[in-house]
Structures are given as structure tokens and as C-alpha cells.
Chain A
Amino acid sequence: DAGVTQSPTHLIKTRGQHVTLRCSPISGHKSVSWYQQVLGQGPQFIFQYYEKEERGRGNFPDRFSARQFPNYSSELNVNALLLGDSALYLCASSLASGSEGYTFGSGTRLTVV
């Protein structure tokens, strides 16, 4: 079975640009979460979607947005990129509440120059 797949794996963008990151969950998983991980730190929660509805939002500016599609895949969009947005962006999927555990993808490494 395919795990959580994220694309692209690496991305370099210029300050002020926009970026879209994509995630496909494990088949049968209806919840997708997005996390930002800066080098040397634990992941920080950005969004969670379940059945196409936003179920949680972390402390990130409005430049960050996301959505979930009918096939449960998801996109994370970041506008007006800042140097500080450089990080590993992780997508995780779960069956529902996540109390059974989340499965993470390998992430998208975003570098803003």
C-alpha cells in the first residue's frame, strides 16, 4: 500500500512568491494535517481537515491556507513568502480523530531566497 505522498519533494522560491504543496493520504484515511518543521525543532501544527472541513488551525498568519478535495487529497498554499517560511512541510493522514496515530509523508523542503 502506498503511504502518504507529498509533492514536490524540494522547492526553491523567491520572497513574495506563492507556493502550493500537495498531499495524498493513505487510502481510506479521511483526515489530513499539515505541519511546519524548522531545523532542530519539533513540528508545528498548521491545519487539519476531516471530510473536507477544517477541523483545526494553528497559530499561523492568514498567508497560509489549505483545502481538502473530495478524494481526501489536500493542498497547502502559502502567499507572500518570507525567508522565515523556509522549512520542511509535513503532511500526515489518519483515519479520523488521529488518536490511533498519524502517518506522515516525507515532506516538502521549501527554501525561500
Chain B
Amino acid sequence: EDQVTQSPEALRLQEGESSSLNCSYTVSGLRGLFWYRQDPGKGPEFLFTLYSAGEEKEKERLKATLTKKESFLHITAPKPEDSATYLCAVQAGSNYQLIWGAGTKLIIKP
């Protein structure tokens, strides 16, 4: 069964303290791995799509990487406005649906 697991569940950092969020997946035939940011009461906001192992993408303070078993979202020198829940999802096989992890709630203290 296709599965996505995110860790940690929650992460509290001081402003400027860099860290990484993990997304491990077990799927047959990965077609794409997606990272989204979600603020309370809002829909997920698209950040990155990664398609193959070794691929990396960057956007401002965020960098996403992909291996054959997991993806990391690295956040460098975070600011309080980076506080949100970060969700990972995969699309696999012949399915078009996204299979989601439960998310990592990131809190950045000033």
C-alpha cells in the first residue's frame, strides 16, 4: 500500500535556526513528490514538485531534495512568517490522486 510519513510532527525553532523536515514514502512507480505549505484555515499552497532521485529545487529560504526513499525540505535562516504546516504528497503509478503525509507543524519564534 502506498504510504507517506512525515517527521517530526512539530518543530519549534528560533528565528535564524536552520533545520530540515523529512518525508519518507513507500510507493510503486513514483511520478512526482510535492511539497505544500498550509496556513491555518487555508488550502495548501504549492511549493515544489520533484520527479526523480537526485533532483533539488530552491525557493527563497526553502530547498527540497529527493532520494529513492525520502525527501527533505531544508529551511535556512527561517523567519517567523515561515511558520506553517508543511505537507508532503506523492503521485504514483497510474493514479492521478495525491497521497499525503500528515504534515509537520513548523513554529519559528522571533
Contacts and interface: CB of A to CB of B under 8 A. Distances in A.
Is this pair of chains taken from one and the same complex? yes
Interface of A: 4, 31, 33, 35, 40-45, 48, 50, 55-56, 58, 88, 90, 92, 97-107, 109
Contacts of A107: 41-43
A105 B41 CA distance: 11
A43 B38 CA distance: 11
B41 A55 contact: no
Interface string B59-98: 0000000000000000000000000000101010001111
A9 to B, nearest CB: 9
B97 A106 contact: no
Contacts, number: 67
A109 B89 CA distance: 22
Contact of A55 (B31, B34, B96, B102): B96
A50 B41 CA distance: 27
Nearest to B39: A106
A104 to B, nearest CB: 4
Given A31-B96, A40-B102, A42-B101, 9 more contacts: A42-B103, A43-B89, A45-B99, A55-B96, A56-B96, A90-B43, A102-B46, A104-B43, A106-B42
30 contacts: A4-B43, A41-B102, A42-B4, A42-B87, A42-B89, A43-B98, A45-B97, A45-B98, A45-B99, A56-B95, A56-B96, A56-B97, A90-B43, A97-B96, A98-B91, A98-B98, A99-B32, A99-B49, A99-B91, A100-B49, A101-B46, A102-B46, A104-B43, A104-B45, A104-B46, A105-B43, A106-B43, A107-B42, A107-B43, A109-B41
